[in-house]
Chain A
Amino acid sequence: MSTFRLAHLYPRELNIYADRGNIAVFDRRTSWRGLGVEVIEVGIGDPVPTDAHLYYLGGGQDRDQLAVADDLRGDKGTTLRGLVDDGACLLAVCGGYQLAGHGYTGVDGTRMDGISVLDADTVAGGPPRLIGDVVIEARLDGQTHTVVGFENHAGRTRLGVGSSPLGVVTSGHGNNGKDGFEGAVTKHAIGTYLHGPLLPKNPWLADLLIAWALEYATGSRPVLEPLDDHLEEAAHAAAIVRTRQPNR
């Protein structure tokens, strides 16, 4: 049995939206099933490992995000694009989503380049920031599932033809608050503004990513043993209920 190798990119710089919750979900849901799991932390100046099966990019403060954008410029971006082309998984959340696209243009016109794994581009917008609980209908691998989370972003993201949206917004703002789409998907790379964190309340999405990663590792799609997800489902349901209530 192959070990699930997860490369956590820039954990010191990109961690503000509880990204370690997503890492914990990958870690636990593989080990609970008796599968081997290894988390490799990759910092500024470290080479990107080419033998991981899933790459994770979280969200950070502006200053830290700029430092990461600098570090990704050049070889590392090329390496990550090649890995995703080859079938590796990428999950990029909030600021990481913006970096996984073509880049971010600030209010003052300054440009922070991304790595163009996703055909998505972001321009600073607002006020207002787009903040609140979000519910989307996500379509991946021919399946449709409700995905819940929380969003908090000033950037407005629009997709090109090279990426499809992760889902259609049923409550909340999504990519830009206008076109009704949320997130971006190219091959097995997913970018999204949904945090909260994303995966604990969306075990279906977590397991799909684990299955994709193991398929990339072994060449065949595994059948994952079901887990007792009653707490996950209850939190998922509570998040949907919350979007129907006024702020108190």
Chain B
Amino acid sequence: MQHPANTIATAAGWLSRRLGRGGGTTLPGALITKWRPQAVRSMRCKLTDGALVISATNGKTTTARLIVSCLRSDGRTLVTNPSGANLMSGVASALLAAPAHPLVPALGVFEVDEAALPAIADQLAPRVVLLMNLFRDQLDRYGELEHISERWLGMLQGLPPSTIVVLNADDPAVAHLGDAHPNIVWFGIDDTSRALTELPHAADARRCRRCGEPLIYDAVLVGHLGHWHCDACGWRRPTPSIAASAVTLHGLDTIDVDIATPGGPIAVRGLALPGLHNAYNATAAAAAALTLGVPVTRIGQALQSSQAAFGRSERLTITGRELVLLLIKNPAGANEIVRTLELDPEPLDLVLFLNDRTADGRDVSWIWDVDYEPLLPRIRTLTIAGDRAHDLALRFRYAGLDDSRMRVVPPTADALDTALAGTADGRPLYALPTYTAMLGLREVLVARGVAQEFWRDR
């Protein structure tokens, strides 16, 4: 028997969509968790095959999508939360919509906000926890990084030994969580052929978590992720059992990843998610899928047939031209987008959107932590948009970009039109929006019939 509050909350979400008030992806859950704070705990019995939770500063949406693809290819019945609905309310909404007595075992796959994770894990009692990375996020939320790392540590100490904890060996801020639980599966990237020579400007986790001395990096792969050790106390990157042994980047189109696992190798060919950071997402997804019992032989095929998540290397066609959406949320993610754009050998036409709403981070200083400089000689046209477009224009002016290659057009639709008009024939336009700017851009694209509303995604 459905709890009456659940029925009312579900109806509210349906009504919200009918009234055109948006997706209603979190409204039912927001109502139910207000009325019944332990709603997720009471509904977790719907997940007769248990739950997987995924958290990270960067890559959780894409990785959740890759894992879902692996599990579906194995015939699993899943309960998932849509991208952006990654708080308690989003998980509750997904559980409300799930059948009470599934005919086949149902497995929950949830991407979860870093700060919300401990409370959600407490109620959900997940079978598998996947933790991928911790980066400096927007600056008005600064101070959370160490704080989150400590809260994750406490959460892992409270999980039963039967839970499987999948951790990124290459991130020292995540690797130090390995002491908190007896059942760890490590993943990482062994291939150092794309390594940087030094840590980027805005790198975090420069110091050893055990003794405080500076960490030594033999290879820097993405941000502060890499092959690290401490000379002072001997702490070093754990050897991953699931490791990307070879990564090949095919421009902005695809990557190939060879993943070594205890069950045999996985060859992923033509995964349509460019950049080394997506090799981390693919390896993390393979590790999680393996711990959930998906056969090695299915994983490679499932990964390479996956499609980009909403706004993450998503490709659309508008007025006969390719538009590539590359969501930017923080300096570490932005630096990887810059590195990925460098793989395109032709001059670039770019449109960047900077908003400072709550979900973007109200402090726009973070744009100065992004290393945009390698793009400067490559830019053919740059259109700058958003609520704080002029701040971003100054970032490029003081980086040394010539005014004649830069146009400042704050309104979303106008910026898109200006950028499209200026894009060279036969070339894609790359759009780099912050989160709320992505939603605004999406509205424009939906109105023009070239994209779907985000809540229809998945």
**Chain A residues with a Cβ under 8 A of chain B:** 12, 15-18, 20-21, 24-25, 28, 61, 63, 131-133, 150, 152, 195-197, 200-201, 231-232, 234-235, 237-239, 242, 247-248
Contact = CB atoms under 8 A, between A and B. Distances in A.
B364 interface: yes
B365 A21 contact: yes
Nearest to A13: B206
B139 A152 contact: yes
Contact of B368 (A20, A61, A247): A20
A21 B387 contact: no
Interface in B364-395: 364-369, 387-391, 393-395
Contacts of B369: 18
B388 A200 contact: no
13 contacts: A15-B202, A61-B143, A132-B362, A150-B140, A152-B142, A196-B364, A200-B391, A200-B398, A235-B394, A237-B390, A238-B387, A238-B388, A238-B391
B408 interface: yes
B357 interface: yes
B366 to A, nearest CB: 7
Given A18-B368, A248-B358, A231 B394 contact: yes
B323 to A, nearest CB: 25
Interface of B: 136, 139-140, 142-143, 146, 201-202, 206-207, 212, 356-358, 362-369, 387-391, 393-395, 397-400, 408, 436
A232 B391 contact: no
A201 B365 CA distance: 11
Given A18-B368, A21-B398, A235 B142 contact: no
A231 B368 contact: no
Given A21-B365, A196-B364, A242-B356, A232 B140 contact: no
Given A231-B408, A247-B357, 4 more contacts: A18-B365, A18-B367, A235-B394, A248-B357
B201 A20 contact: yes
Given A18-B368, A150-B365, A235 B139 contact: no
Contacts of B393: 231, 234-235
B383 to A, nearest CB: 14
Contacts of B408: 231, 234
Contacts of A132: 362
